[in-house]
Amino acid sequence: MNEVIAPEEVAQDLNPVIEKMALNEHEQVVFCHDKASGLKAIIAIHNTTLGPALGGTRMWNYKNETEALNDVLRLSRGMTFKASISGLNLGGGKAVIIGDSYTQKSEALFRRFGKFVDSLGGKYITAEDVGISPKDMEYVNMETNHVSGLPITLGGSGDPSPVTAYGVYMGMKAAAKEQFGKDSLEGLKVTVQGVGHVGETLVKHLTEEGAKVTISDINKERVQEVAKKYGTEVVEGDAIYDVDMDIYAPCALGATVNNDTIARLKCSIIAGAANNQLLDEKEHGMLLKNRDVLYAPDFLINAGGLINVYREVEGISQERAMELTENIYNTTLDIFKKAKTDDITTHQAALALAESRIASIAELKTRR
Ligand code: NAD
């Protein structure tokens, strides 16, 4: 038996957690621990006004619990706005499993995690995210039905990435329409950073339309393979930020739009799939606005995958999911218009739209 901790000490440790929850108005944060399987996880439910909180589970070797907590709080908040702006009846949630996804996975760990998800009674619906494979989700699914994005063979909606890529493509076309007066990408110079599941399909759409595409990826084999398949140029490492381009499409990591890169980027548009592209939403959103670089908000244009997963929750058809994803084009144009009219950044305009839908539905729910 471990040493018992004094209640005052527990309260002291909890205070910063409660403060962080309060900062962005998270509804519930669940800390999961299981000694036998080695599971350490956090489930964060940000907002369930519109529906159950849906968001993937990420397995990552976080330096410590604080880093994991910060990540899950930030990601779950983003899911609320992504669902809202896409018109879905879903709330925002996310889970993180603290551990090495190469060495610390086991059936018991994922089944135990599944039991924790199940204990929330459907308030949180999980899915795959970074570090998690379909096989892992199969184990989670053995203990709970509150799992989405499963392979088609298991009755799910399959890989969401092609739908995400299509939505990003729609958002990019809307940005071209706003910035250059026509939505054709033919002849435009587009740089895609990261040609994984989403990036490769985006490159396919772009090259089919006649854009001049340059790609980068830290995976050398993959970048050569994709370049050969679609006839693109390749750039290595950080040199991507100095390429002569019209559009920068971050499809690898978050936070690549920051003081250093904004000073270097020569593009007129930023539109990509990565989550949390702006290192600082306010500061870097404003810097882009001042430089007349049009930023297509990430959580708006990368929502195709979530829309696809929504098929499993609401039972909508694949055709309807594609229609909703195509509509990202119109919503993106609306956001640009609002940003101009209100003289705010495009990120602020997107947030305002997402928040206003949540507020109006919350008000509606108070009525009979
Ligand atoms: P992925 O892991 O399949 O692809 C990411 C690619 O980026 C990999 O090929 C990787 O080698 C490369 N990469 C990593 N670091 C890099 C760097 N510094 N420079 C260049 N390349 C680098 O992931 P994905 O599913 O294609 O998702 C791409 C991004 O979009 C992620 O940020 C993800 O969170 C986001 N996203 C994905 C979906 C989806 O449906 N898959 C939905 C919404 C958002």
Give the H/E segment covering residue 77.
Answer: helix 65-85
DSSP states along 208-231: HTT-EEEEE-S-HHHHHHHHHHHT
- pLDDT at res. 365: 85
- pLDDT at res. 335: 98
Same domain, 147 and 168: no
Same domain, 123 and 234: no
Number of domains in the chain: 2
pLDDT tens for 196-216 read: 999 999 999 999 999 999 999
CATH code of the domain covering residue 209: 3.40.50.720
Same domain, 41 and 138: yes
Same domain, 38 and 138: yes
Calpha distance 315→292 (Å, rounded) = 41
Same domain, 205 and 346: yes
Separation in Å, CA 139 to CA 61, 126, 128: 20, 12, 12
For the chain, list residues with pLDDT below 50: none
**Residues 42 and 72 sit within 8 Å (Cβ to Cβ):** yes
223 Cα nearest atom in ligand 1? 9
| Sheet order of strands, 294-295 included | 233-234, 212-216, 189-193, 247-250, 269-270, 294-295
Same domain, 127 and 224: no
- pLDDT at res. 269: 98
Same domain, 277 and 350: yes
Q: Ligand 1 centre and the CA of 198: distance in Å?
A: 7
Residue 82 lies in a domain: no
Q: Ligand 1 centre and the CA of 4: distance in Å?
A: 43
160 Cα nearest atom in ligand 1? 40
Give the H/E segment covering residue 341.
Answer: helix 328-342
Same domain, 145 and 171: no
Kindly report the number of other CB atoms within 10 A of residue 37's CB atom. Answer: 16
Residue 319 lies in a domain: no
Rounded (5°) CA angle 251-253-257 = 90
pLDDT tens for 51-109 read: 999 999 999 999 999 999 999 999 999 999 999 999 999 999 999 999 999 999 999 99
- pLDDT at res. 147: 96
CATH code of the domain covering residue 134: 3.40.50.10860
Q: Ligand 1 centre and the CA of 131: distance in Å?
A: 12
Kindly report the number of other CB atoms within 10 A of residue 77's CB atom. Answer: 22
Domain end point (choices 110, 125, 152): 152
- Domain extent for 49: 3-77+91-152
Residue 271 lies in a domain: yes
Residue 286 lies in a domain: yes
Same domain, 261 and 203: yes
- pLDDT at res. 2: 59
Query: Which residues sit opposite 6 in a β-bridge?
Result: none
- pLDDT at res. 315: 86
